[in-house]
Structure 1
Amino acid sequence: MPENRAGHRHGRTVRLAVAIIPAASATPAGDPVVFMEGGPGGDAFGNIPFLIGAGVNRDRELIVMAQRGTLHSEPNLACPEIDRFYAGAVGLPFNAPSTGELLVRATKECRDRLTAGGAELAAYNTTENAADFADLRAALGIDRWNVYGYSYGTNLALTYLRLYPEGIRSVAIDSVAPPPVVNLPWTWDSFREGLDEVFAACEAQPACKNRYPDLPGTVTEQVRRLEEHPLTLTAQPPGGGNPVTVVLDGGSLVDLLVAKAVPFADLPAALDELAHGNPERFARARAAGATPVIGEFAYGLKESVACGEWVPGYSRADVLAAGRRNFPGWPDAVLAQAPQLPFQYDVCRVWNVPDRTAVQRVATVSDVPALVISGTFDSKTGASWGRYAARTLSRSTVVRIPGIGHWVVPQSCCAQSVLTSFLAHPTAPDTACVADLAPAPFTITPETEAA
């Protein structure tokens, strides 16, 4: 593919790897499914087992392409410098300026290396990404196909549908990040929505309500306490290996909550244990970050998209205001950093790509049949944003799966059934299984005395 379709850089090209997984059915339908990975920067090939396990290829061929800049594509815009920063950051205060300086330094080192190798970072954006998929369909000679994307892949899928609607039979978007609203303040809104849904589910289960009567108050108390008095602990990474030193403070607790580092079923118990002087579950979850797979995630694509399409137009004050609106009483040091995107303004200053919001923050208006799937516990892309995106998709079906977090289909048999039905009948999928769903029971532990 051209690296930059505007014709710059003397026709430099990128190479994108494509995997084609046969349909499980002996009599497959003729229109395949093409998958759009999240991130941005995730390894699409690494998620093929989850797609097969979820039955996405049950009745249709499944096509998976490594997006530009990601693992298995050329060039691969991985940043081992940033991977190594995050491995060491588990032992640092999450929101400290000194931590941010180390992240910015690692980011600049990666940027300098990638640009020295000839990469035009501004070309790694959602518009070019969508054009790659349009060219892929033509290269494979496919008349019509179905699109399935999750997380950033929904942002990409909606952009692709807006720019290249021809040949698209249907679109399924899972854990929706609508292009018009993805920005740093928005992350606080999604976190609040997902966390509220978890706490409401506990409130609706008598055993959980009686055992953990004030989870919102517990979280606020622990975020404030840990930010004022951070804990330095030794913890065993969940995947094994030597124990590592971790710092558990208010910012890192929030990051772990957004990332679902502790399973939802165990979250009330983990918060109660933390309040009673036992931080082990969160410490182990924090320690997991000490053993990343170096070079797997493409920060080059992630930063180019985030800095060109998500960050511009909103200030640091806007992020703080959104945090205060959603979590009044939390420390400003925590609220000043967008969940999952700490120090992003400083990172983008050194990444230095153009503002693309005018061409990217655009709603997709379409009558192509669409399935919009959200998990009620999703703290990264709150479930309400699925309904928001569906407002301009006139033939859309909106499904909310209770008790599920980010990337719903691999986690929910019902969602898998709905997706299969949608691919067979895009304008009339069978969603009956949703009506009987409820969040799974939460783990109830014996009461403990405060340490």
Structure 2
Amino acid sequence: MKSHLYLMALISVLISCKSTQKTATEFVPTFSVSKKTTHKIPEGKDYTFGYLEVLENRNNPNGNRIKLPIYIFKSRSKNPKPDPILYTVGGPGYTSMRASKYMEYYKYLDDRDFILFEQRGTQYAKPSLDCPEWAKAVYQSNFPNFDPTKTDSLFQKAAKACNEQLRKKGIDLNYYTTNQIAADINDLVNVLEIEKYNLLTMSYSTKIGQVLIRDYPDKIRSVVMDSPLPLEVNYDEESVKNLLETITKLLSDCENDEKCNSSFPNIKNRFFKYLEEKTINPLQVEIKNPKNGKIETFYLKGEDLISVFSSAYTGDVPNIPFEIDRLLNNDLTSVKEQLSYLFQEPGKGVGIGMRLSVWCAEENPFNSLELIKEETNKYPELKGLSPAVYDNEICEIWSVNKESEIENKAVKSDIPVLLISGEYDELTPIKWAESMTNNLVNSYHLIFKGWKHGPTTNWSNQCAMELANKFFNNPNEKPNADCFEKIVSPEFKTE
């Protein structure tokens, strides 16, 4: 059964667009209902699905039009609150549409309608900026017989090929940026004639939230930023430092825990020395290729072996010291399991083009190349690991316009904001959210002990989602719940 939410507004917009006499230079964004959805939605859900049509380049009314899929899920409440929640995910380059299959688990629908918004250039948007060439390069570079001296040229060729095939389709890569996505959301809110709404963002999309607060604040009632990434932070300059600081925190907590320290004494120093040693003399690991049965030999450095932490999720946190100890004792069971995934066929590179456009327009231009070079060789445990998501040469090939300086400046606002952090999140560390509270004067910061990135999507414990929903219901006070009081430092596995 489809929801009638906003339908009168939609019908009036569509009728007015058809009936109004327009010149060739006018364009009005529209929302069109579609029976064909991106995913099969479970029975019993009340929703509307359709596409927002906007200009690729808002300065060219006669140019390309793009279509963004939108779900509007009706609240489970008989008397829903009037201000819906709009949710868009991180990346950049991830799809928001996958969440449509799991709406029964979203607490927000108990009180409000819930809108899923797909960012331009991502998987189900039209067009989607996919880069199969990049996915193939990742696949090739991970094989043990690949010559690492050819890594740069491999990815440069992939970026060039992807860039060329997207531009041949008539896509202007300059307009797939955070600023444009925020404008798309503002267009949707206006098309649906929403008077006030709440914004739910996570990781990269918290940047979208900050731009909306700055440029289109009037209709925003409140904002939740899960694992926030401040506009003013230069991610590429410090990602390696953040990784080391966060694992240092976790292993220090193990050493301060009597049981953990007794089982794994001095684990922090032993692990860092191990990473340093393997960076000089790589760990040799043999694994059977599941495709042909051939034994393949991998040589792993510190930057590879730290994945015992960096690839872990919140549910894995209690096991991390145990897994590190296994590695230190040459038990390679987990390492071989991770390596086995490298033999899977390359994907389609979904959303990679959008990710490159965002990064090369609004992150790379503000980087200090000297600092990145220094950071790459600064830490003996991870020597050679660049903190940059994309090398400068890749962005030169991608060749998009630099965003204005304001996109690298902190946003100031008195709109109510809830900042949510995981204690062991190396991607968007606690310190970033703490710094944002200085400029978001009506904000609150919750830190989830023992958790990693994206607390509101921790399905084994929905406490962060519960607190986010409490905040949407009362954004003028810091939310609290019994579940939050019960979250304490992890009990580390020792045997």
1:333 to 384, 409, 429: 384
Compared with structure 1, are the counterparts of its residues 51 and 438 closer, same or farther at alpha carbon in structure 2 (3 Å cutoff)?
A: farther
After TM superposition, what 4+ stretches of structure 1 lie above 6 angstroms from structure 2?
240-244
Q: What does 1:348-363 align with in structure 2 at a 5 Å threshold?
A: 348-356=395-403, 358-363=405-410
Larger radius of gyration: 2
- After TM superposition, the score normalised by the length of structure 2 is 0.81
- After TM superposition, the score normalised by the length of structure 1 is 0.89
Question: In structure 2, what is the equivalent of residue 441 of structure 1?
Answer: 491
Compared with structure 1, are the counterparts of its residues 83 and 413 closer, same or farther at alpha carbon in structure 2 (3 Å cutoff)?
A: same
Question: In structure 2, what is the equivalent of residue 285 of structure 1?
Answer: 338
Distance across 2 between alignment mates of 1:45 and 1:293: 22
Matched, 1:344 2:375: no
| 2:131–2:353 CA contact under 8 A, matched in 1 | yes
Shift of 1:403: 0.8
Compared with structure 1, are the counterparts of its residues 50 and 359 closer, same or farther at alpha carbon in structure 2 (3 Å cutoff)?
A: farther
Q: What does 1:385-400 align with in structure 2 at a 5 Å threshold?
A: 385-400=432-447
| 2:425–2:452 CA contact under 8 A, matched in 1 | yes
Query: Which structure has the higher relative contact order (CA within 8 Å, separation 6+)?
Result: 1
Alignment RMSD: 2.6
Unpaired runs of at least 5, structure 2: 1-53
Look up the equivalent residue of 1:406 and give its one-letter code.
Answer: H
1:266 to 299, 310, 319: 319
Distance across 2 between alignment mates of 1:198 and 1:54: 30
Look up the equivalent residue of 1:430 and give its one-letter code.
Answer: P
| 2:71–2:100 CA contact under 8 A, matched in 1 | no
1:416 to 436, 443, 465: 465
Shift of 1:95: 10
Distance across 2 between alignment mates of 1:189 and 1:435: 30
Distance across 1 between alignment mates of 2:438 and 2:101: 33
Distance across 2 between alignment mates of 1:235 and 1:383: 38
| 1:56–1:420 CA contact under 8 A, matched in 2 | yes
SS of the residue corresponding to residue 366 of structure 1 reads coil
Distance across 2 between alignment mates of 1:99 and 1:310: 22
| 2:196–2:219 CA contact under 8 A, matched in 1 | yes
Deviates more, 1:435-444 or 1:422-431: 435-444
Shift of 1:296: 6.1
Compared with structure 1, are the counterparts of its residues 373 and 424 closer, same or farther at alpha carbon in structure 2 (3 Å cutoff)?
A: same
Q: What does 1:90-101 align with in structure 2 at a 5 Å threshold?
A: 90-92=142-144, 96-101=148-153
| 1:236–1:284 CA contact under 8 A, matched in 2 | no
Deviates more, 1:345-354 or 1:34-43: 345-354
Deviates more, 1:66-75 or 1:80-89: 80-89
Question: In structure 2, what is the equivalent of residue 64 of structure 1?
Answer: 116
Shift of 1:202: 1.5
Shift of 1:307: 1.0
Shift of 1:305: 1.0
Question: In structure 1, what is the equivalent of residue 40 of structure 2?
Answer: none
Deviations along 1:171-217, whole A, 9 cap, x unmatched? 00000100001331131343233223322332232211111222332
Distance across 1 between alignment mates of 2:217 and 2:190: 13
Distance across 1 between alignment mates of 2:248 and 2:78: 45
Look up the equivalent residue of 2:397 and give its one-letter code.
Answer: V
Unpaired runs of at least 5, structure 1: 446-451
Distance across 1 between alignment mates of 2:465 and 2:493: 26
Deviations along 1:329-375, whole A, 9 cap, x unmatched? 335323xx116x2x522221211112215131121111111100000
Distance across 1 between alignment mates of 2:489 and 2:106: 20
